Homo-oligomer: A and B are copies of this chain.
Amino acid sequence: VKNIKPRTLKGFRDFLPEKAKKRQWLIGELRSVFESYGFAPLETPALEYAEILKGKYGEEEKLIYEFETKGKDKVALRYDQTVPLARVIAQYENELVFPFKRYQIQNVWRGENPQKGRYREFTQCDADIIGSSSSLSDAEILMLALNIYKKLGLSVRIKINDRKNLESLERKYISAIDKIEKIGESGVLKELAEKGLNDEAAKKALSDLQSKPKTQRIEEILVSLEKMGADTNLIDYEPTLARGLDYYTGMIFEIVSENYQGSLCSGGRYDKLIGTFSEKEIPAVGFGLGFDRTLEALEQNNLIPKDQNNSKVLVTIFSKDLLDASLETLNELRSNNISSEIYLDSEAPIDKQLKYADKKNMPYSILIGPKEAEENKLTLKDMKTGEQDTLALEEVIKLLSGNRTQYLI
């Protein structure tokens, strides 16, 4: 075993505690908003019959991880959460309540090129409403997305369009126009020319599109959003927004943040896809929130609470014969719902114990030496300022029972 190098596969990541805590915090925030809007969780297996996934992702299909099991099943790893959702809708139609509002936060696997900075395992976070074609559902989805970022404290804007605006255009031209953010108007015109439109026709196609007024559907959605209390100033109508090719059939949107390159969340209405495994069309609207990107934007903007779920206090052990006093203190603290640890070696020097508290970002430590034990008191040390005070247990409990980030005076 010694010559097996401990390493992770390219494009795959370990999340050590500091990072994993942030991820768990974000998942908790997302769940709470989803659930307050009546979206319920769904979990599907990591492995599906390969035939369920095949023929659904176009050219990207080659990125699916697939293999044959020892039992000769042809299987594939979850590639997104939409195809499994379509399967679930067909498989359990009679057990689900429609409109079906579900969210799903699971990992997906794609054989991407890690050299482009892409991950091969990443967390997807989707919310969808299945079985409703109303503009209210479109508004609800936008409201949900807006409120997630509001709750997270990140200022964002929404770009919105109706795929119907692009109906008269050929697919190859749409894919060029979709890049307008990245390559600018001149870039789009150049690409349209390369794809067969002459210069004049390209200019006309683009300017026709840019001057398209809001569709009635978009107007309806915006009115609903306003009544729902959305800040409609954050919503930009952008008739050139295209968002992919075959997928969307109605409203489409994308959420961006001023200080962050690219979109954080995107989605829209897709009425042709969910019925794939059923024998009928099933309307759907939803979004995929970029979990890694959103976490990164929050980090950049210092919007992740510090010392997330760290223990509040380390009870040190002065010496083996004073261990009982420390254990009893630990019990009292934990019984009072104060996240506490004891140093797990009754013979370690106090310095080493304090270093542990420091490395784990615990705001306080407690010392119970012979003097404290005799007086039935504790010495509470503020790890940040170094200040310390000898107090009765009740006083310490009172002091530590407050907010997570409460410090000594």
Q: Which residue of B lies closest to A355 (CB)?
A: B97
Q: What residues of B have a CB within 8 angstroms of the CB of A247 in the complex? A: none
A255 and B48 CA atoms in complex are apart in Å by 34
Number of chain A residues whose Cβ lies closer than 8 Å to a Cβ of chain B? 98
Query: A129 within 8 Å of B by Cβ?
Result: yes
A340 and B229 CA atoms in complex are apart in Å by 14
Query: A153 within 8 Å of B by Cβ?
Result: no
Query: A372 within 8 Å of B by Cβ?
Result: no
Pair A107/B327 contact, Cβ less than 8 Å: no
Task: Select A62's contact among B23, B70, B359, beta carbons within 8 Å.
Answer: B70
- CB-CB contacts of A338-353 with B at 8 A, as 1s and 0s? 0111101110000000
A17 and B309 CA atoms in complex are apart in Å by 28
Query: A46 within 8 Å of B by Cβ?
Result: yes
A38 and B310 CA atoms in complex are apart in Å by 7
Q: What residues of B have a CB within 8 angstroms of the CB of A102 in the complex? A: 17
Task: Select A38's contact among B4, B276, B327, B339, beta carbons within 8 Å.
Answer: B339
**Most chain B beta carbons < 10 A, residue from A8, A120, A276:** A8
**Most chain B beta carbons < 10 A, residue from A37, A55, A356, A360:** A37
A101 and B16 CA atoms in complex are apart in Å by 12
Q: Which residue of B lies closest to A138 (CB)?
A: B344
Q: What residues of B have a CB within 8 angstroms of the CB of A42 in the complex? A: 14-17, 20
- CB-CB contacts of A34-53 with B at 8 A, as 1s and 0s? 01111011111111110110
Task: Select A327's contact among B20, B224, B311, beta carbons within 8 Å.
Answer: B224
Q: What residues of B have a CB within 8 angstroms of the CB of A109 in the complex? A: 46-47
Task: Select A9's contact among B38, B47, B309, B330, beta carbons within 8 Å.
Answer: B47
Instruction: Say yes or no: A136-B17 contact (C-beta < 8 A), given A8-B45, A47-B12.
Output: no
Pair B227/A45 contact, Cβ less than 8 Å: no
Task: Select A73's contact among B9, B99, B310, beta carbons within 8 Å.
Answer: B9
Task: Select A91's contact among B14, B52, B101, B140, beta carbons within 8 Å.
Answer: B14
Give min CB distance, A4 to chain B, whole Å. Answer: 5
Q: Which residue of B lies closest to A92 (CB)?
A: B16
Interface residues of A in 20-78 (CB under 8 A from B): 20-21, 23-24, 28, 31, 35-38, 40-49, 51-52, 55, 62, 65, 67-71, 73, 75, 77
Pair B276/A1 contact, Cβ less than 8 Å: yes
A208 and B69 CA atoms in complex are apart in Å by 47
Pair A31/B24 contact, Cβ less than 8 Å: yes
Q: What residues of B have a CB within 8 angstroms of the CB of A168 in the complex? A: none
Pair B36/A15 contact, Cβ less than 8 Å: no
Q: What residues of B have a CB within 8 angstroms of the CB of A62 in the complex? A: 70
Contacts A/B (CB < 8 Å), 11 sampled: A8-B44, A14-B91, A15-B42, A16-B96, A23-B43, A35-B309, A36-B311, A38-B339, A47-B121, A70-B111, A132-B345
A-B CB proximity, top 8 nearest: A67-B67, A17-B40, A229-B331, A227-B327, A12-B45, A38-B341, A15-B43, A20-B41
Q: Residues on A close to B: CB < 8 A?
A: 1-2, 4, 6-9, 12-17, 20-21, 23-24, 28, 31, 35-38, 40-49, 51-52, 55, 62, 65, 67-71, 73, 75, 77, 87-88, 90-92, 95-97, 99, 101-102, 107, 109, 111, 120-121, 129, 132, 134, 136-137, 140, 147, 224, 227-229, 276-277, 279, 309-311, 323-324, 327-328, 330-331, 334-335, 337, 339-342, 344-346, 356, 359-360
